[in-house]
A = this chain, B = another copy of it.
Amino acid sequence: MSEQTKYLLDESRIPKHWYNIQADLPKALPPVLHPGTMQPVGPDDLAPLFPMALIMQEVSTEREIEIPEPVREVFRLWRPSPLFRAHRLEKALGTPAKIFYKYEGVSPAGSHKPNTAIPQAFYNKEAGVKRLSTETGAGQWGSSLAFAGTLFGLDVTVFQVRVSYDQKPYRRALMETYGARCLPSPSTETAFGRSVLAKDPKHPGSLGIAISEAVEIAAQREDTKYALGSVLNHVLLHQTIVGQEAMEQMAMADAYPDVIVGCTGGGSNFAGIAFPFIGAGLRGGAKPRIVAVEPAACPSLTRGRYAYDFGDTGHMTPLAKMHTLGSVFTPPGFHAGGLRYHGMAPLVSHLKELGLIEATAYHQTECFAAGVTFARAEGIVPAPEANHAVKGAIEEALRCKREGKAETILFNLCGHGHFDMQAYMDYSAGKLTDQKYDESELAMALAGLPSVPEPA
């Protein structure tokens, strides 16, 4: 009898609470500031954008926040997601390490994003909201919110970065199949979009611009709220279901990670797999090494400044203290669109400052090479974003091989690459390059960071 490959939990064991790391932080998170007054925002300041239930989660310091039963009911469509032991990858690498991966590609949208799209749609529906507006890059988040919208009967409007809208029509088709409306951003629907188009009618768009457009629409209409797919505390909170399940599944495998690896764009996927384990360590349990992997072409954690900055290009959002490349920084157009954001989640940034996590950056061709190695060994073709975690995990496994250590490595495979085969075609044709950002542009973007009074 061979060793087990896959660790499954019954749907009755979908967690009943999200884990809120704010309860266990040795030092509280710096407050978020109002873009007009530069003073800490209160719940009412955020009310035009979010329903109060989500605002309360944003600022909560309760350790456990209950997952509503209608949300768990939808999660049953794909949760609990499987945890795999990567026997074949271990063999291919010749490593003494044990590699485990949690797989979030089993969701209907193919990524971890529905974990927060579903509760966000639920709380908005409960609050009487009729329509959600949001932004998306490659479309993982937009398609997940479209999926959530159809299940809860909400209209969803998605501003998709124009270059992705034009070049990657398949996730847009997924959004439209779920009944959402998808617009290329910058668009003529918003004042901010029109102002960008006035300067450059062929502007390719960016996540920062699309966020400004989605926020503008939500702020103007009583029946419309805004939904964000990463960065914010409540979004990271919703993803902790991933790490909580993984903890139970690792126990089934009679194992505990020595190292946890996650890819980081805005930070929600990384938080999902890592926070429950970090929290257990903060409460006196084992302390695995926690490794955040980001793209070298958009390296907020490894090259950004820890400072107050806007979440969007139009400077409509509150300011948060985070690792940032500057809200006007435009990352090169690499394939992992989900990691292409100037800032890092305040909670992830805070943990980095506290020395509780490590960060490293890789270029996209080495990440695709890792993804192909993984696909040929384990069968699953990872999304370009997930390839960064695969690369990080393989590097740890090869270190274990060099050092002769049988460590246990856990990573989150946050989505499948079935919508991203053009990127694999470009990779195998040798057409992918390792874009570098412009150092002088980064310096300028950092020099332009807003100056805010340091709160007492």
Residues of A within 8 A of B (CB): 2, 4-6, 8, 10-11, 69, 73, 76-78, 84, 88, 106, 108-110, 147, 150-151, 169-171, 173-174, 176-179, 372, 375-381, 416, 418-419, 421-422, 424-425, 428
Q: Are B169 and A425 in contact (CB under 8 A)?
A: yes
Assembly CA distance A78 to B150 (angstroms): 28
Assembly CA distance A380 to B178 (angstroms): 10
A421 and B173 in contact, given A4-B11, A6-B77, A178-B376 (Cβ under 8 angstroms): yes
Cβ-closest chain B residue relative to A423: B173
Q: What residues of chain B lie closer than 8 Å to A428, measured between beta carbons?
A: 173, 176-177
Count of chain copies: 2
Assembly CA distance A421 to B170 (angstroms): 5
| Contact residue among B6, B73, B106, B418 (Cβ-Cβ distance under 8 Å from A419) | B418
Q: Are A418 and B110 in contact (CB under 8 A)?
A: yes
CB distance from A38 to the nearest CB of B (A): 43
Cβ-closest chain B residue relative to A79: B6
Q: Are B379 and A422 in contact (CB under 8 A)?
A: no
Q: What residues of chain B lie closer than 8 Å to A6, measured between beta carbons?
A: 11, 76-77
Q: Are A378 and B177 in contact (CB under 8 A)?
A: no
Q: What residues of chain B lie closer than 8 Å to A375, measured between beta carbons?
A: 150, 177-178
Assembly CA distance A84 to B108 (angstroms): 13
Q: What residues of chain B lie closer than 8 Å to A11, measured between beta carbons?
A: 4-6, 8
Assembly CA distance A4 to B10 (angstroms): 10
A177 and B424 in contact, given A108-B380, A380-B108 (Cβ under 8 angstroms): yes
Assembly CA distance A108 to B6 (angstroms): 14
Assembly CA distance A126 to B145 (angstroms): 47
Q: Are B173 and A2 in contact (CB under 8 A)?
A: no
CB distance from A219 to the nearest CB of B (A): 29
Q: What residues of chain B lie closer than 8 Å to A179, measured between beta carbons?
A: 376
Q: Are A376 and B150 in contact (CB under 8 A)?
A: yes
Cβ-closest chain B residue relative to A2: B73
Q: Are A108 and B8 in contact (CB under 8 A)?
A: no
Cβ-closest chain B residue relative to A179: B376
Q: Are B418 and A69 in contact (CB under 8 A)?
A: no
Q: What residues of chain B lie closer than 8 Å to A108, measured between beta carbons?
A: 378-381
Q: What residues of chain B lie closer than 8 Å to A170, measured between beta carbons?
A: 418, 421-422
CB distance from A178 to the nearest CB of B (A): 6
Cβ-closest chain B residue relative to A108: B379
Assembly CA distance A422 to B106 (angstroms): 21
Q: Are A169 and B5 in contact (CB under 8 A)?
A: no
Q: Are A378 and B418 in contact (CB under 8 A)?
A: no
Cβ-closest chain B residue relative to A150: B376
Q: What residues of chain B lie closer than 8 Å to A176, measured between beta carbons?
A: 424-425, 428
A69 and B421 in contact, given A106-B106, A174-B381, A178-B376 (Cβ under 8 angstroms): no
Assembly CA distance A10 to B234 (angstroms): 33
Question: Which of A4, A177, A378: most chain B Cβ within 10 A?
Answer: A177
Q: What residues of chain B lie closer than 8 Å to A147, measured between beta carbons?
A: 379
| Contact residue among B4, B10, B177, B377 (Cβ-Cβ distance under 8 Å from A8) | B10
A69 and B2 in contact, given A170-B422, A375-B178 (Cβ under 8 angstroms): yes
CB distance from A7 to the nearest CB of B (A): 9
Cβ-closest chain B residue relative to A110: B418
Assembly CA distance A11 to B85 (angstroms): 13
| Contact residue among B69, B76, B177, B378 (Cβ-Cβ distance under 8 Å from A381) | B177
Q: Are B425 and A173 in contact (CB under 8 A)?
A: yes
Question: Which of A5, A378, A416: most chain B Cβ within 10 A?
Answer: A5
Query: Would you list the 9 A-B pairs with minimal beta carbon distance, nearest first?
Result: A108-B379, A5-B76, A173-B421, A170-B421, A418-B418, A173-B425, A150-B376, A108-B380, A173-B424
Assembly CA distance A375 to B110 (angstroms): 13
